[in-house]
Structure 1
Amino acid sequence: MIEIKDLHKSYQMGSNSLHVLKGIDFSVKEGELVSIMGSSGSGKSTLLNILGMLDEADSGSYFLDGMPIKNLNEKVAAKYRNKFLGFIFQSFNLITYKSALDNVAMPLYYQGVKRKERLEKALHYLSKVGLADWASHLPNELSGGQKQRVAIARALASEPKVLLADEPTGALDTKTSYEVMELIQGINDEGKTILIVTHEPDIANMTKRIVNLKDGVIIDDTLVEQVKAVAHV
């Protein structure tokens, strides 16, 4: 599903060049649930941005579902993102003046899905995350955990190949974090490929594979015995 070979990325900082990713080799098979860990500055956010086609590597190759991701103009990159990827962010990134239902329907609008169909689909995915009764509520009427559930429903609505989650529990308390991870585990159990960037070991242990980054290189890549989120609540 994801195949990365010898990926390098540097950023120009004034007169200096900061080498952030230093030859990353990394692959993810369909249906995996993988966490990417590393301290601040390890390169995990840069890697996620490249995977999400929000940034491009200086050298190396990136294939997503067999397609080479290279030299894409913004229009093509946006089209691929919409087709292949669903994003879940720490800060939820919901549109404050739109209802939960309209937030979930948003990716389908960009795919050209007709209004009736996209609202039906959005309601289906809100039901999936247990929030059908909250469809008409605005984000400021929802708890942090509910907002993240709406964000997950939105990420699923376009039926992407891969979910990319950037610190999805970072703004949540422990109990709510485990509830969100229970939901993510359930989605993965249905066959969805999911990558999670996290700095929390307990969250990483709820995935099936932990990749550790340090100073722009992978220092460890281990299959782990998955801890079921519900056991912690």
Structure 2
Amino acid sequence: MIEIKGLQKSYQMGSNSLHVLKGIDFNVNEGELVAIMGSSGSGKSTLLNILGMLDEADEGTYTLDGKIIKDLNEKVAARYRNQFLGFIFQSFNLITYKNALDNVAMPLYYQGVKRSQRVERAMHYLEKVGLADWADHLPNELSGGQKQRVAIARALASDPKVLLADEPTGALDSTTSYEVMDIIQKINEEGKTILIVTHEDDIAHMCKRIVNLKDGVIIDDSVVNQVPAKPVAHV
């Protein structure tokens, strides 16, 4: 599903160059649930940005579902992101003046899906995350856990090949974090490929594989015994 070879990335900082990724080799098979860990400055966010086509490597190759991702103009990159990827962010990134249903339906709008079909599919995914009864509510009427579940539903709405989650539990308390991870595990069990950037060890062990980055290189890549997320009542 994802194949990365020899990835290098540097940023110019005034007169200095900051070498962030230093030759990353990294493959993800379809249906995997992978945690990417590392301290601040390890390169994990840069790697996620490249995987999400929000940034491009200086050297190396990135292949996604058989397509080489290189030298894309913004229009093509946006189309590929909408076609292949679903994003889940720590800060939820919901549109404040749109209700939960319209937030979930937003990726389908950009795909040109008809309004009636958008509503039907958005409601399906809200039901999937246990929020059908909150479809008409605005983000400021939702708890943190509910906002993240709306964000998960939105990420799933366009049926992407891969979900990329950037610290999806970082703004949540432990109980709500486990609830969110329980949903993510269930989505993965249905066959969805998911990559999670996290600094939380317990969250990482709810994945099936942990990749550790340090100073721009992978220092460990291990399959782990997945810890089930504790099922808790919806909040």
Calculate the TM-score normalised by the size of structure 2.
0.98
Equivalence for 2:185: 185
Give the 3-state SS of the residue equivalent to 2:172 in structure 1: coil
The separation in 1 between residues aligned to 2:177 and 2:117, in whole angstroms, is 31
Equivalence for 2:170: 170
Is the Cα–Cα contact under 8 Å of residues 108 and 157 in structure 2 kept in the other structure? yes
Letter in 1 for 2:165: A
Structure 2 stretches of 5 or more lacking a match?
none
Equivalence for 2:46: 46
Letter in 2 for 1:183: I
Mapping for residues 13-92 of structure 1, pairs under 5 Å: 13-92=13-92
The separation in 1 between residues aligned to 2:73 and 2:231, in whole angstroms, is 45
Q: Would the alpha carbon gap of residues 139 and 231 (structure 1) be closer, same or farther in structure 2, given more than 3 Å must change? A: closer
Q: Would the alpha carbon gap of residues 89 and 112 (structure 1) be closer, same or farther in structure 2, given more than 3 Å must change? A: same
Q: Pairwise CA RMSD of aligned residues? A: 0.9
Over residues 44-67 of structure 1, what are the superposed CA-to-partner deviations in whole Å (9 max), with x where a residue is unaligned? 000000000000000000000000
Letter in 2 for 1:102: D
Q: Would the alpha carbon gap of residues 134 and 41 (structure 1) be closer, same or farther in structure 2, given more than 3 Å must change? A: same
Q: Would the alpha carbon gap of residues 153 and 231 (structure 1) be closer, same or farther in structure 2, given more than 3 Å must change? A: closer
Letter in 1 for 2:175: K
Calculate the TM-score normalised by the size of structure 1.
0.99
Equivalence for 1:151: 151
Equivalence for 2:221: 221
Mapping for residues 130-145 of structure 1, pairs under 5 Å: 130-145=130-145
The separation in 1 between residues aligned to 2:42 and 2:231, in whole angstroms, is 30
Give the 3-state SS of the residue equivalent to 1:79 in structure 2: helix
The separation in 1 between residues aligned to 2:41 and 2:86, in whole angstroms, is 24
Over residues 89-134 of structure 1, what are the superposed CA-to-partner deviations in whole Å (9 max), with x where a residue is unaligned? 0000000000000000000000000001001100000000000000
Equivalence for 1:102: 102
The separation in 2 between residues aligned to 1:42 and 1:191, in whole angstroms, is 29
Equivalence for 2:5: 5
CA-CA distance at 1:232 after TM superposition: 8.6
Give the 3-state SS of the residue equivalent to 1:195 in structure 2: strand
The separation in 2 between residues aligned to 1:33 and 1:205, in whole angstroms, is 10
Structure 1 stretches of 5 or more lacking a match?
none
The separation in 1 between residues aligned to 2:90 and 2:104, in whole angstroms, is 17
Is the Cα–Cα contact under 8 Å of residues 182 and 231 in structure 2 kept in the other structure? no
The separation in 2 between residues aligned to 1:36 and 1:86, in whole angstroms, is 17
Letter in 2 for 1:228: P
Over residues 10-63 of structure 1, what are the superposed CA-to-partner deviations in whole Å (9 max), with x where a residue is unaligned? 000000000000000000000000000000000000000000000000000000
CA-CA distance at 1:231 after TM superposition: 6.5
The separation in 1 between residues aligned to 2:222 and 2:30, in whole angstroms, is 17
Letter in 2 for 1:174: S
How many pairs were matched up? 233
CA-CA distance at 1:230 after TM superposition: 1.7
Q: Would the alpha carbon gap of residues 106 and 30 (structure 1) be closer, same or farther in structure 2, given more than 3 Å must change? A: same
Over residues 143-169 of structure 1, what are the superposed CA-to-partner deviations in whole Å (9 max), with x where a residue is unaligned? 000000000000000000000000000
